[in-house]
Amino acid sequence: MRAIIASLTLLASAAAALAQDTNAFRAYSSYVDLIEGGRVPIVVLDFGDEHVTMRSPRGFGAHIDTAIHGVRFEADSGAAALTIMVTTNSPGALPAADDVKGLVLARHPGAWVLQTYSFPTSYKPGLFVDLAQAPAANISLRTRHGFAPAPKGCIEFIFAANDADYDKLRVRVMQAIGTITVETVKEKAETE
C-alpha cells in the first residue's frame, strides 16, 4: 500500500512540474489546406503557451532541433540553410535597432552589416540585419539574421548561403518567413 501511495505522490509531483513548465517546447510538421486548393507543408512550434506556425520554404527539408527550440531547414541542393528559433528573450518588443545590430555582429565575428530593415509580422514589426563575410579566399557568405517579436518572447531566424545561392533563394525564404504566425494558447477551462 505504501508503494502505491509513494508512486501516486511521485506521479502527482511530476504532473505538477510539467504543468508549471511554461517553456516546454514541442515541434512537428503538418499541412494546411489552401482556399485555392492544394496543401502546403508547415512547421508548428509550441513553446510554453505560444503556438507558432510557418510555411516551409519550397525546396527545403525541415529538421526539428529541440536543443535550440527550433527548426533547421536545409535547401535540397545543400546550398543554403535557414534556422528558426523561439526564445523568451525580449518579450513583447525588440531591443533598439543598434542593440540588435551589436548582438548580430557579436554572433557573426568577421562579418559586416550591409543593411538593416524592418518587416511586418502578425504581431509587431520585426527587424533583420543583412551581413556579408569572407571566411576564406574566394568564398563569400551572406547572412540574413532577423528577429520577430512575440507576446512572450521572440522568434529568431538565420538564413545563410553563398552569394549566388543567397540571391537565388532569398525571395523563397522571405515568403516563408512572412507566413509566421504567433498565437497565445489559452488554457482550457475545466468543465464539470
Give, as one character, the DSSP assignment of residue 189: P
Domains of the chain: 22-184 (3.40.1000.10)
Residues shown for the chain: 192
Give the distance from CA 143 to its chain's centroid: 16
Cβ-contact 156, 84 below 8 angstroms: yes
pLDDT digits (tens, 9 = 90+) for 72-113: 999 998 889 999 998 888 888 898 999 999 999 999 999 999
Q: How many whole angstroms from its chain centre is CA 50? A: 12
Tens digits of per-residue pLDDT, 108-120?
999 999 999 998 8
Most confident of 12-16, 49-53, 100-104: 100-104
